[in-house]
Amino acid sequence: MRQHCCFEGCVIYWASMLTTHRSWLATTALLLLPLGWGCGRADRTSSQVCSDGGFCWQRPVPQGNSLHSISGVSSRYIWAVGDRGTILHYDGKSWRSVASGTTHNLHGVYCLGQHDAWAVGDEGTALRYDGGRWNKVDTSTKESLSSTWGSSASDVWMVGRRGTFLHWDGKGIKKGGSQNETATLHSVFGFDSSDVWASGSGGVLRHFDGTEWRVVSNSAYTDIRAVWGHRPREVWLGSGSTYGGRMLRSQNGGPGETVGSYLRSGVVAFWGGSSKDIFAGSSSGGLYRYDGTEWKLQKDSLSVSALWGSGPGDVWAAGPGGLLAHFDGKTWKPEGEASPYPIQAMWAKSPSELWAVQGSELLRFADGKWQASKVVGASLQSVRALVGFSGSDVWAFGRPYYVSHYDGKKWRETNLSGRGISTLSAAWGSSGRDIWAVGSAGTVAHFTGQEWALLSKPTTETLLAIDGSSARDIWAVGEHGESLHYNGEQWGSITTGETERLSGVSSCGPRNTWAVGAKGIILHWDGARWSKSKNPSDKNLSKVLCRSDKEVWAIGDSGTVLRFDGTAWSLVESGTGAQLFSLVYDGRKLWIGGDRGAVLVRK
């Protein structure tokens, strides 16, 4: 993601640096951190982060791309990197986006000083920071790189897939390590140029003595995703998988010995302020802390990917969905609203107010702020569509057998199971007294202001989307290329000539309707027939929105955003790799909702 700051006076203050102990290393992997974070949100995040395509993050802030690694040299100088080329910098006050010049996912970062830092990622990507900007460095490989570490400006190691060892000597990057190495390497860490460690899949552990890499035998038989140490001749290894794991300690170059009991899942990250105060995380079980004698399980946990600290009272965690959390020596506090739940449904009440459903929570964006609204009398769990006509007439669809209505004061549920209606997954209405909803096994239901009625099923295919340009021009699409049209009197099936799933439909008029679906399929209705439109992407598409003959938008998997300009479809950089599920226009701005609570806006 080629990020830039969408706020006036975007100036990053480069704080003065302090020399740091080399053990303050960010370990990239998956870790779980405690939930006891207290109330309120620290004001240490920047304004919006925007993509080259003009989409800016509204939730979470500063952005929602997953972060994989974090490294710094003081409490006022820290880097974090992640998906879509995301690079964030912390200056002691706030996290802000810095342009990376790439959209490749970044998996590792290591900071040598305020004028020298390295980041690595997919497709052999290597970036170097020179004090002013991040610059690409040729690695002569397309293998994904997972971790980097360096002892000086002329001694930097990078490791990755298929046994990739790369070394920067101050002039260029050359291959290092054994030519016979084939294991994926997950982590690299060192104490100095003659004491470097690398770990990888299948229990692989290697040590570099300044001359050559040698095999270090150990008792781990599963992946070693983290290697870290506070003092020379003692390194900690995080071993295991999602089914179990353990922590090992290698002393004086010997085989690792298990310390503590077996865990429910593999250890994936370490960081410590001393040899008697170390954090370790498992991928799905908790955060552990070592006191020099034993490991103790900490509080309930939340998933993160990396740790770094300048001291025991200043530890940072980064993780999925843009998570950033800070430990002050007593409690962990989040820096944003990262959430595991997607934004599946949105409704624009006006240009100044947006409603969204995340998990079972109703969120409202008004006056520039997000607020969670209390829902009483209904459950919004599994809701996939919001349809509203005013703040006192809003409908929610998606929960099996139920529809929910908000009258401006409270929510009320209606059980439709007795009327032969199961799950309604999409809805559209020309007014509050003319609402259509579609769902499983060809279900079509109609609300005329009093009751919901089930119509004779015009198809047995599950219907996934519905939209209309008027009460006499409504389309519904679904599985196996099914399309239905309502002319004001009856529903009829109209062949599309396709068999792929159609998950989105939008109509600008009787002669201009669009449908999208699996494998990037895009169809256009010209008033007489459906025809296939050329698409530059083969990603699954979930939603389409027609605004005019010359402006149509579509969204889908892997952060895919497409725009039709009246002539052809083209890709637009969204700035995220998240799955995108919802798409609305509020009269001024385009809103997109996606995985892990992602909300993007384009003015």
Q: Tell me: the pLDDT tens digits for 545-574? A: 999 999 999 999 999 999 999 999 999 999
Answer yes or no: is pLDDT of 133 > 60: yes
Tell me the Ramachandran region of residue 155: left when phi exceeds 0, alpha when psi lies from -120 to 50, beta otherwise: beta
> Which pLDDT band holds residue 515 (cuts at 50, 70, 90)?
very high
User: Which candidate, 131, 182, 133, 136, places its Cα nearest to that of 159?
Assistant: 182
Dihedral of the CA atoms 244, 250, 255, 261 (nearest 10)?
-30
Q: pTM of the entire structure?
A: 0.85
Q: Tell me: the pLDDT tens digits for 455-483? A: 988 999 999 999 999 999 999 999 999 99
Quick count: other Cβ atoms within 10 Å of Cβ 401? 15
Q: Of the spans 226-230, 282-286, 499-503, which averages the highest pLDDT?
A: 499-503
Residues 188, 159: Cα–Cα separation, whole Å: 7
> Which pLDDT band holds residue 106 (cuts at 50, 70, 90)?
very high
Q: What is the pLDDT of residue 179?
A: 67
Q: What is the pLDDT of residue 36?
A: 36
Quick count: other Cβ atoms within 10 Å of Cβ 422? 12
Q: Report helix, strand or coil for 310.
A: strand
Answer yes or no: is pLDDT of 382 > 80: yes
Does domain 4-334 correspond to CATH entry 2.130.10.10? yes
Tokens of 447: 């609300």
Strand order of the β-sheet with 343-350 is 343-350, 353-358, 361-366, 369-373
Residues 448, 258: Cα–Cα separation, whole Å: 68
Question: What's 83's DSSP letter?
Answer: G
Q: How buried is 14 (Cβ within 10 angstroms: 0-12 exposed, 13-18 middle, 19+ buried)?
A: middle
**Cα-based distances in Å from 403 to 200, 381, 423, 549:** 50, 11, 9, 34
- Report domain extents, the chain: 4-334
Give the whole-number percent of the chain exceeding pLDDT 70.
Answer: 90
CB 592 within 8 A of CB 556: no
User: Which candidate, 231, 235, 256, 254, places its Cα nearest to that of 245?
Assistant: 256
User: Which candidate, 408, 393, 328, 262, places its Cα nearest to that of 75?
Assistant: 328
Question: Within the chain, what is the greatest distance between any pair of CA atoms?
Answer: 83
Average pLDDT over residues 230-244: 87
Q: Tell me: the pLDDT tens digits for 194-226? A: 999 999 999 999 999 999 999 988 777 789 999
Q: Report helix, strand or coil for 597.
A: helix
Cα 486 to the chain's mean position, in Å? 38
> Which pLDDT band holds residue 37 (cuts at 50, 70, 90)?
very low
Answer yes or no: is pLDDT of 22 > 90: no
Helix intervals (H) in 403-493? none
Q: Tell me: the pLDDT tens digits for 119-132? A: 999 999 999 999 99
> Which pLDDT band holds residue 587 (cuts at 50, 70, 90)?
very high
Q: What is the pLDDT of residue 253?
A: 76
Q: What is the pLDDT of residue 300?
A: 54
Residues 384, 378: Cα–Cα separation, whole Å: 15
> Which pLDDT band holds residue 283 (cuts at 50, 70, 90)?
low
Average pLDDT over residues 44-48: 50
Strand order of the β-sheet with 551-556 is 541-548, 551-556, 561-564, 569-571
Give the whole-number percent of the chain exceeding pLDDT 90.
Answer: 71
Better-predicted residue by pLDDT, 302 or 485:
485
Quick count: other Cβ atoms within 10 Å of Cβ 214? 12
Q: Is the dihedral of CA 595, 598, 601, 602 positive or negative?
A: negative
**Cα-based distances in Å from 468 to 475, 478, 512:** 6, 15, 11
Answer yes or no: is pLDDT of 9 > 50: no
Helix intervals (H) in 283-326? none
Cα 443 to the chain's mean position, in Å? 33
Answer yes or no: is pLDDT of 1 > 50: no
Residues 65, 1: Cα–Cα separation, whole Å: 10
> Which pLDDT band holds residue 407 (cuts at 50, 70, 90)?
very high
Residues 311, 273: Cα–Cα separation, whole Å: 5
Q: How buried is 44 (Cβ within 10 angstroms: 0-12 exposed, 13-18 middle, 19+ buried)?
A: middle
